[in-house]
Structure 1
Amino acid sequence: MRRLFNRLLPKSWRSNDIVVPVIRLQGTIMAGGSQFRPSLSLASCAGIIEKAFAFDAPAVAVSINSPGGSPVQSRLIYKRIRDLAAEKNRQVLVFVEDVAASGGYMIALCGDEIIADPSSIVGSIGVVSASFGFPELMKKIGVERRVYTAGRNKAVLDPFKPEKKDDIERLKALQLEVHETFIDMVKDRRGARLKDEPDLFTGLFWSGRRGLELGLVDGLGDMRSTLKARFGPKTRLKLITAPRGLLSRFGLFGSRSAASEIAGAAAGGLIDAAEERALWARFGL
């Protein structure tokens, strides 16, 4: 559309600048999220993905900075980008900021090319589940846990009861299936570029420089320099952002006040926030 519009203008008015839309995906990956604890999910970023691919541009640039999270949401975001790239015949260039690990790296696989900073962290191709256990605490404070279920496996891995061997085995079997899906995606997208490294799929992570040697990324650099070198010095980057509603522009949040939003986030999100912090901390961030 933009090219057609340019052709209709007098030559002296035409712009020869190439505009590359930029999608920025940052944060832990999980369904849900809130005004005060935003997260990456297909629901939260589908709009900007669609908007970016609506541009008449030679490529779509995707900036990723994520330590991972939900494998389901990671794959949904990856698939939406790949589907639109095929539909619109667009090249996708992924640029890694601090980290694209675990689910963050799964999303990065959407790129026809992945470019990282030499000090970026990439990889962590594995699956992890983490929780807390409180059975001894329950005994000390004199609280009895009462759970009633229809189905003997309905309350597996209850954090207030001792772990059971069978429950752990079921969880590990599930993790192995998810891990295999992840490995298949990496092999499908990276193909012959991957090097023979025995620890590649063990969950280890590497610097961008080492990731280049292993075939996890295709180059080292930054977005602005790479795009200008590829498409010309007049190339402009257009960050695609989600539209803000009228109420949010004035600091209003519909039927719930900001105070109640904050209170709800504080009451219900402490453990989630700790787990989110732990995800980033795994990579020294």
Structure 2
Amino acid sequence: MNEWLSDYGLFLAEAVTLTVVAVAVIAVAAKGRGSGQARSRLRIEELNGRYRARQRRLKLATLDKKRRKLAQKAFKRDDKHSDRQPGGERRATVWVIDFHGDIKASGTARLAEEVSLLIEASEPGDEVVVRLESAGGLVHAYGLAAAQLDRLRQAGVSTTVCVDKVAASGGYMMACCADRVQAAPFAVLGSIGVVAQLPNLHRLLKRHDVDVELLTAGRYKRTLTVFGENTEEGREKFVDELENTHALFKRFVGERRPGLDIEAIATGETWYGSEAVEKGLIDAVGTSEAYLLERMARARVLSVALEKRRGMAERVGLAASVGVERSLRRLYETLEASGWQRR
């Protein structure tokens, strides 16, 4: 057994070494070719076709051979007129984009590009649906993300935000920019408030005779600090800044949803979708899937996404790391299995 393990370990070490060398060579070769290439690509998928194909497969599975041929011919006839209304007019297009926000709203740059594309591509009667999921984060980051969605409204493009899980705080700041907001029954919405917290280590440092010098120019350049001694004046100023940010948040939401009792709901509380519709935070209760299926009956529904294009070195490196991880996992499983066999 020990000899087998030794041989297997030597083989694994050689394989890993060869993989690393191959990755290094390919990375060097791909570096020159990869420079200057586009770092993202546009992916477009017609959701009508995807759902139609699946529905047809289910229907054909229930038919005998003869009826299946007749159904397939009928499907072909329907496909010829799928992009036109019964009167021969162009069907409206529903453009679908996704935004899954982290604390820094890292997807904002991609969102901005997608919005720019859709503003140019949309025609009268079209609609943009944003499937939004975010619990909020940094004020300036979500302020920018909301401003990107605001561009659709300013350009006169009909916009619907669908929330299946959460659109709270900065996430709701984005959602309220749409003409219509729909959320699942237990989606979390609201949290129109501002929060900030930071530790203060001044007393700990003082106990160990550690001094911290904080030099500023400007009375309120620093209000609260982590290492320095905080003052009551600094705390009051910090709270004033929070209140000012909250007031701006309330004004932003109130201007976009004028029927909302902003003072009653801007308390930092959250509500589920079935409650949020009564508060005026949203316009309807329902999932994004249900809404898009409804729109497919009258419009072409196209999913649009800008996807990051990985370079050759990045793709090979990822594949190599996955391969090494898989090899180690197999080795572990082999050792475990041999242990079971000895018991």
Report the TM-score when normalising by structure 1: 0.71
Matched, 1:226 2:291: yes
Structure 1 segment 2-41 matched on structure 2, within 5 A: 15-16=82-83, 19-30=93-104, 39-40=105-106
Distance 1:67 1:166, change over 3 A: same
1 CA distance for matches of 2:79 and 2:131?
34
Taking a change above 3 Å as real, the CA distance of residues 225 and 41 of structure 1, as seen in their structure-2 partners, is closer
Higher RCO structure (Cα 8 Å, ≥6 apart): 2
Distance (Å, rounded) in 2 between the aligned partners of 1:28 and 1:12: 41
Distance 1:51 1:127 in 2: 33
Per the TM alignment, residue 78 of structure 1 is displaced from its structure 2 partner at its CA by 2.0
- Are positions 1:171 and 2:245 aligned together? no
Report whether the alignment pairs 1:203 with 2:303. Answer: no
* Partners of 1:12 and 1:237 in 2: CA distance: 16
Aligned mate of 1:116, from 183, 194, 198: 183
Give the distance between the partners of 2:173 and 2:269, measured in 1 at CA.
14
More helix by share: 2
Offset at residue 235 of structure 1 (A):
4.1
C-alpha separation in 1, matches of 2:103 and 2:289: 26
- Is 1:186 the counterpart of 2:253? The answer is yes
Cα displacement (A) at 1:190: 1.3
| Correspondence for 2:154 | 86
Per-residue deviation, residues 203-240 of structure 1 (Å, max 9, x unmatched): 11111111100000001111232133235177434142
The change in CA–CA distance for 1:156 and 1:51 in structure 2 (over 3 A counts) is: same
Query: Quick check: 1:64–1:96 contact (8 Å CA) kept in 2?
Result: yes
- The answer as to whether partners of 2:136 and 2:168 remain within 8 angstroms in 1 is yes
Contiguous gaps of at least 5 residues in structure 2:
1-77, 84-90, 322-343
Partner of 1:76: 144
Change (3 A) 1:248 1:94: farther
* Conserved 8 A contact 1:19-1:238: no
CA drift at 1:65: 1.2
Distance 2:96 2:79 in 1: 28
CA distance 1:48–1:142, change in 2 (3 Å): farther
Give identity over the alignment, percent: 29
Mind listing any 5+ residue stretches in structure 1 that lack a counterpart?
1-10, 31-38, 259-285
Letter matched to residue 279 of structure 2 = L
Q: What is the rounded CA distance, in whole Å, between the counterparts of 1:185 and 1:148 in structure 2?
A: 36
Q: Secondary structure at the match of 1:191?
A: coil
Q: Distance in 1 between matches of 2:145 and 2:262?
A: 28
Q: CA deviation at 1:185?
A: 1.9
- Return 170-179 or 153-162, whichever deviates more: 153-162
Letter of the 1:179 counterpart = H
Assess, with a 3 A threshold, how the Cα gap between structure 1 residues 179 and 221 changes in structure 2: closer, same or farther. Answer: same
User: Conserved in 2, the CA contact under 8 Å of 1:125 and 1:200?
Assistant: yes
Distance 1:137 1:147, change over 3 A: same
What do you get for the CA RMSD once the two structures are aligned? 2.9
Which residue of the partner structure matches residue 138 of structure 1?
A: 205
- One-letter identity of the residue aligned with 1:71: V
| SS state at 2:210 partner | coil
Picking from 105, 111, 115, the partner of 1:45 is 111
Offset at residue 28 of structure 1 (A): 2.6
Cα offset for 1:102? Answer: 0.9
Q: In structure 1, the residue corresponding to 2:268 is in which secondary structure?
A: coil
TM-superposed deviation, 1:100: 0.7
The structural deviation recorded for 1:169 is 1.2
How many residue pairs are counted as aligned between the two chains? 233
The superposition leaves residues 141-172 of structure 1 with CA deviations (integer Å, 9 ceiling, x where unpaired) of 55332223334543331111232111111112
AA aligned opposite 2:95: P
Mapped contact 1:48–1:242 kept (Cα < 8 A): no
Shift of 1:64: 1.4
3-state DSSP of counterpart to 1:72? helix
Q: Which is worse superposed, 104-113 or 238-247?
A: 238-247
Report the counterpart of residue 283 of structure 1 in structure 2.
none
